[in-house]
Amino acid sequence: MVKATVGMRYGYATAEAILRRYNSDNSTHPTYKALVELGKAEKTIFLCNYLPYLEPKQEVQSGLNVIENWNGTNDFIFYGRRGRFETNNPQDMEISMLSLHLLQNCLILINTLLLERTIEERNMLEKLNPEDTRALTPLFYGHVNPYGLFELDLDKASFLEVA
């Protein structure tokens, strides 16, 4: 364990490379057993710091909420085939992922512009406290209709244009 720690400290080895060496196939190796016990001790220390105090719980919950919101948005916009890759073809998988990234970026751009415009038009910036600004997120999709018809009026000015 000391050799592995020194290797990580001086950049000779990464944690991933060391853990790959000691996987569950080497469960009888003494270093593997020591790393498992060290992991248990670290987990116990974390839980002792986490359980009695409110601040770490709020921080972890806040991070989980962001991830859950992101996953829910991804499920909504990547709804075909239940969001699964049903192919082993790397090119098809890459196209699906690139399409998802494009949809994510478009949704976030439009929502960010909508939030900025709403805050500006209603003079809300001065009214927002730090908790309010922390709660702002472009990860909402209630206004998106992925199934219906989309009518375009090319004679009407876009909401993206500055008035």
Q: For position 81, what pLDDT does the model report?
A: 66
Q: Tens-of-pLDDT digits for all 163 residues of the chain? A: 888 888 888 888 887 788 777 776 777 888 888 888 888 999 999 888 888 888 888 888 888 888 888 888 888 888 776 667 778 888 988 888 898 889 889 999 989 998 998 899 899 888 888 888 877 888 888 888 877 777 778 888 776 775 5
Q: Is residue 147 part of a domain?
A: no
Check whether residue 127 and residue 71 sit in a common domain. Answer: yes
Q: Do 92 and 39 belong together in one domain?
A: no
Query: Domain span at residue 115?
Result: 54-135
Q: Is residue 141 part of a domain?
A: no
Domain membership flag for residue 143: no
95-128: pLDDT as tens digits = 888 988 898 899 999 899 989 988 998 998 888 8
pLDDT of residue 26: 72
Claim to verify: residue 33 and residue 91 sit in the same structural domain:
no
pTM: 0.57
Q: Supply the pLDDT for residue 69.
A: 84
Q: Tell me the CA distances in angstroms from 6 to 9, 11, 15, 21, one per residue in order.
A: 5, 8, 11, 16
